[in-house]
Structure 1
Amino acid sequence: MIALVSGANSGIGYAVATKLAQEFKYHVVIGSRNESKGKQALQELQGTVSPELLSYVQLDVTDDVSISKAIDTIRQTHGRLDVLINNAGIDINSDQSTSPRQRYLDSFNTNTVGPAILTDACIPLLEKSTNPRIVFVSSSLGSLQLAANGQLPRSVPAYEASKAALSMIMLHYAARYPHFRINACNPGWVRTKLTKFSGMGDASDGANIVCKLATVDENEPTGLFVAETGSVPW
C-alpha cells in the first residue's frame, strides 16, 4: 500500500507515518513543505523501519506547482496511490504580525483549500487503487453543533471556521467518489507544535484514529467525522 501524508515531518503527521510504516508495512511518502525538515524526518524514520517503506516529496499544499511536482514524483515512482492523509494544517490566530483578514486567508488556504486542491490532484492515482482511502485530519473545534451549544472556547475563529469548512469538503468528496472510503477525524488535543505542546496525550495517541481510517477496508462506512471515542457532532 502506498500512502501520502502531508505535513509528515512533525507532530501527528510524523506519528501517522511512523505507525503506518512500522505496524502496517505501508510505503509512506512523507510530504513536507520544508525540505530540510522533511528529509530529516525521513532519515530518522529510516532508522526504525525498512528504508524501502519510506520516501520523501517536497509538498506545500498552498502551492499548486509544489503539489503538481509531488504527484508527478509519486506517479513516476509508484504508479498509484492507495491512501491520502490530508494532515498539514496551521493555527495562526495568535499571530499579531498579520492583519485579521490575512489570518483568515492563510488559515483557509492551508486548512481547507490546500487539502481540496491536493485531493483533486491525487484522484487519478487513487483511482488506480483497489481500495482508495482519504483521511481529512480535522478538529472538534470545527463542530458547528458543539459551538452552538457553548461547548467550544471560540478563541481561534479562523482555525475553527477553516476546520468547519473542511467537513463540507470531505462530504463533497465522499458523495462524489462513493467507491472510495473518505472520512474526517478529530485526533484530539494532543501535544504538538500546533497546540504549543499542551494536551492530554502525545502525537502517537492522535495518530491512532487517523491510521484506523487510513486502513479501513472497502466495506467500512464513508463520509464520517469521528474520534477515538466515536462520532463527532457536525
Structure 2
Amino acid sequence: MNAVAPSFVYDFAVATCGSLRTTVAAAEVMLRPSGALWLAAEACLVVADLHLEKGSSYARRGQMLPPYDTRETLGRLEAEVAALAPRILVFLGDTFHDRTSEERLDAADAARIAALAGGRRLIWVVGNHDADGPRALPGERAAELTMSGLALRHEPRAGVQSGEVSGHLHPAAKVRSARGAVRRRCFATDGERLILPAFGAYAGGLNVRDAAFAGLFTRPLLAGALGRDRVHAIGWRSLAAD
C-alpha cells in the first residue's frame, strides 16, 4: 500500500503497534491498527460503532448469525485498554445495535463493560442506534464532547467542520493492483476532520468513494487502512470504488 503526503507520517518509534500518527486541526492523534483512536495528551481512547448485540438483533428477525460478536468486540477493546491504560474511554455512538441490545447482553458481557469503567472516566456519546444511551451500565451520557480541542460526536455534520471527530459512516478503503483488490476498514481524514472506522465485529464498511462522504473533506482524503498489525496510509488517487 502506498504511503503518501508528508504531513501524514508513520511513527516507528511507537513500539507497541504500527499506529499512524497525524494531526487533526493541529491536535496530535494516533490511529491504531485496531480501529481505535488514541489521544495521548488526554490519555483518552475513542472507539466508534461497536454495534454490540447485532447478532442477537438479526436472530430475532430470523437471520441466524453466530452469537459471538459482542464477546469478540469486547475482547479487542479490552486488549486496547490493557495496552494503553486510558484515563478516559469514549464510546462514540452506536455502541449498541438497537435500543433493546442492552437487555439482551449476557450477564458476563455486561460485567466486562462495567469493568471498563473501573478507575477511569467512561463516556457514552449517543448515536442514532442507541439514542437513549445505557440504562444499567456505568458511565456518563453525552450528545458530544470536546477533547484536546476536538469535537467528538457520532454523526459528521455537513460542510466544513474543522476539528470534528466522528463515526457513523463506517469508512472502508479499497485498493486495486495487478494481483487483485484489497478492501479494509479505514480512518478517513484530510487533516481537518477525522471519521473513525467501525470497531464492532459485525459492523460493515462503506467505501470512502461513496457519495455519502462527498463534501465532508476540504482536501483530498487520506485513508488509514487497517492492516493486521499496522495502519497503512492510502492517498485518494490510490483508492478505488466498489
Alignment TM-score, normalising by the size of structure 2: 0.30
Higher relative contact order (CA 8 A, sep 6+): 2
Give the helix-richer structure, 1 or 2: 1
